[in-house]
Structures are given as structure tokens and as C-alpha cells.
Amino acid sequence: MQPLANYAAQDVNSKGRKIKEDSPAYRDEFQRDRDRVIHSAAFRRLEYKTQVFVNHEGDLYRNRLTHSIEVAQIARSVARALNLNEDLSESIALAHDLGHTPFGHAGQGALNECMLDYGGFEHNLQSLRVVDELEERYAEFLGLNLTFESREGILKHCSTKNAKKLGNIGKRFLKKTSPSLEAQLTNIADEIAYNSHDVDDGLRSGLINLKQIQEIELVATQYQNVLDTYPKLDERRTIHELVRRLINAQVVDLIENSKAILEEAKPTAIEDIRASKKSLVAFSDKMQEHNLELKRFLRNNLYTHYRVVRMTSKAERVIRELFAEFFEHPELLPDKISDKAITAMQEQDAIVCARHVADYIAGMTDRYAIAEHKRLFDPSETT
Ligand code: MG
């Protein structure tokens, strides 16, 4: 394997973990981060959380676990091609969605609305809360005690208000500087993954069709390429051949354009990357346009399809009703959280109480949220 670029993240130069630990014997620090993410409860629950399609709509669609694995695959390819740290990119990719609520974006929007008077809800910040505090597995610390570099990558976005409360990890949002290249590329790998797999799931579910999607230039080019090469291919294979070309075109563009940017910027150490106000890993302008066009198409045709919207509105109602009921009656929460929430209420601290409720709801899978809603509101359900 090629040596890492001198501006790559290296575990020997890591800014370390909040609680100091001995180095592992046969792994480096970022491999250990990745392994801790894989063994976390929040990671396992990703299997039953969805982005666009709600879990019980079928086993054929992506869930957040398969999405995170696809992001890790793309991020590792890009990291390796740019001589950056694959293990760190993988750790960030596998952890990046740990804080997502059930029911994808609908769930998060609804929970944020419920939390407006109590500090709001941001899924990136919640992913950080999961690895910093909410996982209760290790004897010596709360959370997973990950390295600064993994935590920096997990916190992709953050409001100024919240950044001020976060110390070191929040500083870059105030100074408007950049995280490591591994964090930057994993963020773009996330976009490549979801745009491409939403095309795939959208086509296979029949909510969008091959004819309609050719209004997008990038898709039309790749589709024509499949047709020219395999004129008699059945639809299922045609869709896969199209989607893999879409991913490949974006990945190749990202690698080549980033190489050119880095050659020109000539960073010599990770500090140069972190001091930079602009991204040094990016699509070409042309691919950026294609990417926006694809996103716009998905927004107008898939995410706002009436079947998706119906499910979305049901999901929002479930989250709103769960929040309202638990917040008003914290004694309905399971024992451990209930104790914390009730104590907060007795101390007249509604903000802390609301945060416990939000943590509980955000940790739910789609099916658990539906079951919990039934248990609370359907008198014929046993609890
Ligand atoms: Mg994602």
C-alpha cells in the first residue's frame, strides 16, 4: 500500500481521546474507533431505521445500516486513492448516522419541532451525543470514548449556538475552517451513496421510472451507455448497471478533481487542511451541477411522492404524540430514563427533561416507535 500523504490524518498525531487509554496492541487508534462503533447498540439499531421508505414497507430497500456500509465503501475507495487514512474514513462513515431518529428526515424534523423551546434537535449533534455520552457499555467511561478525529468527522454540521457549548470540537464552526480531509470526503461519500441508492430504491419501488429519470443529464448519459453496451438486458440488471455507473462517475470525478485541488494547494500537514476555509476535497463544477440536478429530481419526484408523503405524515404524528405524552408524563418512560426525567422535572428543569425524552425517542427504531405508540395510545394493547 502507498504511504499516507503528509497531510493525511495519522493515529500517531491524533489529538487523542477525552479519557486517556493505552494504545491497542494490534490495531491503530482509528481501527479501534471503527470497532467500537460496530459493537455499539446504536449501530445495530440502524438496521431498523430508514431514510425514505419506512422499514415495514419491504425488505428490498435501504435502511440506515446498509446505507452506512455503502458510505464506508465509497469513503474507503476515495481515501485510498488519495493516500488518505482509510480507517478513519471508515470509522466516520459507520458512525455518521448513529444519532438519526426513526422515520428518516420526517422523524428528525418532527423531533426538532417538539424540541424548539428546549434547545432543538440536530441529528449530527445527536450522533456525537451517542458516541460521547449515550452508549453505556464501557466500565471506565460513558459513550465510546472515540478519538478527536472520529468525533470531528461525525459532527458534520453544527449551529453556532451549539458549537459554542462544545469546546474544542465546536471551534471550527465558529472559525469557519475545515475538518480533516477524511471527514470532508466521507461527507461527500454520504451524498454519493444516498443519491445513488435513492435512485435505485425509487426505480425498484416503481415510485419513479426509467423514462422520467432520463431528464437528468448525468443519468441519461449513463443509461445510454448501458443500452449501447447491453441492448437486450432485462430491467432489473439495467437498473443496477445504471446505478453502479452513477456511483462510479461521481467517485472518479471526486478523486480526480480533489487530486488537482490538492496539487495546487500543496498542503504539507493536517494543520494546513484544518486552517483552510475551503474544502480541498470536492466534485468538479460540472459534477456539482449534475449532483444538484439529481437531488432536485429526487426531491420533486421521490421524496414528495404522495405515497412517501403519506407515510411521512404518519411518522411525524407518531413522533409528536410520543414526545408530548412522555414530556407531560415522564412516569410513562421506562425506569432508568423515567427516574432522570422525573428528577429534572422536580428540579423545574424542563430543558433537561425534554432532552431525556428526545434521547429516548431518537434511539428508537421505526418499528419500536410504532409499537411504543400503540402501547401508549391503544387501550387494547398490553404494556
Ligand atoms: Mg447518511
pLDDT digit string, tens, across residues 344-380: 999 999 999 999 999 999 999 999 999 999 999 998 8
pLDDT band with cut points at 50, 70 and 90 for residue 52: confident
- Compute and round to an integer the Cα radius of gyration of the chain: 22
Ligand 1 mean position, distance from CA 195 (Å): 10
Distance in Å, CA 94 to ligand 1 centroid: 9
Distance separating alpha carbons of residues 16 and 24, to the nearest angstrom: 13
365 alpha carbon – ligand 1 mean position (Å): 16
Please report the pLDDT score of residue 37 as a whole number: 98
Distance 43 CA to ligand 1 centre (A): 13
Is 2's pLDDT higher than 90? no
Q: Residue 88: name the closest of 171, 148, 135, 132 by CA.
A: 148
Cα 298 from Cα 60, distance rounded (Å): 19
Ligand 1 (single-atom ion) residues, CB below 5 Å: 97, 190
What is the per-residue pLDDT for 381? 84
Q: Whose grid coordinates read 430497500?
A: 61
Instruction: Identify the residue with better confidence: 55 or 332.
Output: 332
Of all residues in the chain, what percent carry a pLDDT higher than 70? 97
Mean pLDDT (the chain, rounded): 94
The pLDDT value recorded for residue 56 is 55
Summarize pLDDT for 155-177 with one digit per residue, the tens.
999 999 999 999 999 999 999 99
C-alpha cell at 211: 423514462
pLDDT of residue 335: 86
Q: Binning pLDDT at 50, 70 and 90, where does residue 29 land?
A: very high
**Alpha carbon 233 to chain centroid, angstroms:** 34
Mean pLDDT of 115-120: 96
- Tell me the C-alpha distance between 296 and 251, whole Å: 20
Segment (H or E) for 187: helix 181-205
Please give the distance, rounded to the nearest whole angstrom, from the Cα atom of residue 68 to the centre of ligand 1. 6
- Cα–Cα distance measured from residue 350 to residue 56, given in angstroms and rounded to the nearest whole number: 34
The span from the first CA to the last CA of the chain, in angstroms, equals 56
* The pLDDT value given to residue 59: 61
191: CA distance to ligand 1 center in Å? 7
84 dihedral zone (left: phi>0; alpha: psi -120 to 50; beta): beta
How far is the C-alpha of 71 from the C-alpha of 282, rounded, in Å? 16
- Segment 184-202 shows an average pLDDT of 95
For residue 1, name the pLDDT band (cuts at 50, 70, 90): low
Ligand 1 centre distance from Cα of residue 181 (Å) = 17
Task: Indicate if the pLDDT at residue 60 is higher than 70.
Answer: no
- Where are the domains positioned within the chain? 26-112+119-306, 309-376
**Residue 289, pLDDT above cutoff 60:** yes
The CA distance from 167 to 156, in Å, is: 15
DSSP code of residue 230? -
Q: What is the pLDDT of residue 254?
A: 98
Q: Which residues pair with 17 in a beta bridge?
A: 147
Q: Is the pLDDT of residue 44 over 60?
A: yes
What CATH number should be reported for the domain whose range is 26-112+119-306? 1.10.3210.10
